[in-house]
Structure 1
Amino acid sequence: MAGKIKKEFPRLPILLLADSLYASEPMMDICWDNGWDFIIRYQTGSISGITEEYEKVPEKGKEGHAEFVNDIDYNGKSVNMLRFWEEKMIKGEAGRTDFQ
């Protein structure tokens, strides 16, 4: 399926959002081979190799924050919003990057 999508839409930027059920090297290889980005929802116990590496990484001067609200009314439909931001020191001054 990935090959067909890539053939039909070679320049289309793709971002796959996946549950931890799809957290596997073959799925990630498909994305890397096609130049696609992906976000995988982490669940305790899944992708243990990545978890082990993550736990070994020392603090790097960054601090992340997240907040969310579910069931926001948008023209009569329910949407959820997640806001994440990270703060880090840049040339001795605090900097902030927002993701929504």
Structure 2
Amino acid sequence: MTPLIILLAVVLWQCALIGYTFSLAGNAADQAAHQGAVTQGFRLRECQEAAKKDLPKAWRKSMKPSKCRHSSGMYKAEVRLQVPVLVPGVLDWPFPVKGNGAYPLEADR
């Protein structure tokens, strides 16, 4: 019975890591889109830096480059993060988790 309980604990932990990665990707995309929309200069650079800013180190290292763009009055960001396998920073799943964010562009002053 003990191996079954341990296996269940491992599966639940991995599910928690997947959920946490989705949460991190969505939050990073929202922050990146907001920063890109309110910046009056180098929007792309500011967007990409904001995406990395609050990520834990293990997720920041495995992050794919953010996609930042503007269209029809909105600034959009897409962040892709790798899901760690059991221990963050050691091994990642081969598929990324995507987070998307959008924010209305601020008018130039």
TM-score range, shorter chain: under 0.3
Specify which structure has the bigger relative contact order, considering alpha-carbon pairs within 8 angstroms and separated by 6 or more residues. 2
TM-score of the superposition, structure 1-length normalised? 0.24
Rg larger in structure: 1
TM-score of the superposition, structure 2-length normalised? 0.22
Task: Give the structure with the higher percent helix.
Answer: 2
